[in-house]
Amino acid sequence: MKTDTIGARIRYWRMRRSGMSQAVLAGLAGVSQSYISQVESGRKTIDRRSTLVAVAAALQVTVADLLGQGTEPGDPARDRAAECVPAIWSALIEVEDGERRPSTRGRDELAVDISRSDQLRIRSNYPAMARLLPGLLLDAAAVGGTVLAQVAYQVSTCLRHLGYRHLALNAARVAVSAAEEVEDPAWIGASRFAYAQSLPIEAASLAARAADRSLAGLQVGSADERVRQMLGQLHLSAALTSTVSGRPDVARDHLAEAAREAATLGDPPDGAGFNGCGFGPTNVKLWEMSIAAEAGESSRVIELSRTVRPQVLAASIRQQSYWLDLGRALSDTGRRDPEALAAFVRAEQAAPVPFALNPLAQSAVVAMAQRAKRRAIPDELRVLAGRMGINLLP
């Protein structure tokens, strides 16, 4: 059985804290001792970001420490991407310091390579994308403006999904500065969305305020559909982060605003829209599912799933979000594990790399295997776990 699960890390850090008992940890985190026991043994998963924040704070570690993001070798996809991270970091430092090299690409070649990187982003192929980004970022910096904003946005998204949030935040700042320099409101909105998304889970309240500030800076009622799409995305970001930080009323207001904007725009005809954000009624429902999951409303997630057709969106990560949220909701009680397994298989098919790297998906698969111990572990679960680097021992 995989030993580097969230539960195993919680136990490791609990023992590092002078052998803190499960009862003490549970009291500090505001959960029950039996819950901590089940999480540590792998029988239960942590489904809410706010619970992760509370447990990490009680153990005096970061959420990233509990998730193992960007730190654990062994996964081939992460290892391939990790080889590129130092070069991306170096390029970010150079750009942030204001240094500009002459571009090694002509304008047309640069546009083609930016489009290629963006297509990799839409397909969630972050390891392949990471190999392109160091040189692409330096060449985009030589041009500046919206070209730099777009590439820095791509860098931020790639690094965040690979678990390097601190570097993703640096890239988002580069994108914001580039967009603000040329006063492009749509790219300002997109870059600030990337910034809010890159903040650590512990800073959910700060991320919500950052989204609020960004909304205040964009023109409400703009005739530019790109700006309206980014207004909607910022409302969705604020809705989720407000839920994590314990402000459900504020979250409902933001979600309602996003839904109103989406109703007038409709789903983008190409499934992507501006910068591939896919803003429209379908994306709003997907975020609503994630918000319901964060609120611990598994039945609501399942109910919402019946009203969504995620395949209308081009971004594979949005399709994965649908199946992952549904799978976690179905596996919540353990009574619908076969349906949950089918949903997880669909999530992996939508976006294999980020699914394999997702620590919450890994924990859910381990929990399903633990619950199946009294019976035979289904072959399909064993195969899925193997593709995620999880060895389910007989």
Residue with token string 């039996």: 34
CA dist 155 and 201 (Å) reads 19
Per-residue confidence (pLDDT) for residue 1, from 0 to 100: 45
Q: How many angstroms separate the CA atoms of 320 and 135, rounded?
A: 29
Question: Which pLDDT score is estimated for 74?
Answer: 53
Task: Round to whole Å and give the CA distance between 15 and 25.
Answer: 11
Phi-psi region of 296 (alpha: psi -120 to 50; beta: other; left: phi over 0): left
Locus of tokens 């792998």: 42
Q: At what angle do helices 85-96 and 145-161 cross, to 10 degrees?
A: 140
Place of tokens 């501006």: 274
Q: Show the tokens assigned to 356.
A: 């394999």
Type of residue found at 361: A
CATH topology of domain 6-67: 434 Repressor (Amino-terminal Domain) (1.10.260)
Amino acid 192: pLDDT: 92
First-to-final CA distance of the chain: 9
Burial class (CB in 10 A: 0-12, 13-18, 19+), 298: buried
Positions of the chain with pLDDT under 70: 1-4, 69-78, 219-221, 334, 373-375, 392-394
Contact of 54 with 246, CB cutoff 8 Å = no
The answer to whether 2 and 389 have CB atoms below 8 angstroms apart is: yes
pLDDT at 279: 96
DSSP 377: P
DSSP 312: G
Q: What is the amino acid identity at position 267?
A: D
- CB contact at 8 A, 156 and 172: yes
> What token pair was written down for 276?
């591939």
d(CA 70, CA 109): 32
> Which pLDDT does position 301 carry in this prediction?
94
Name 276's Cβ contacts closer than 8 Å, sequence gap at least 6: 118, 121, 122, 314, 315
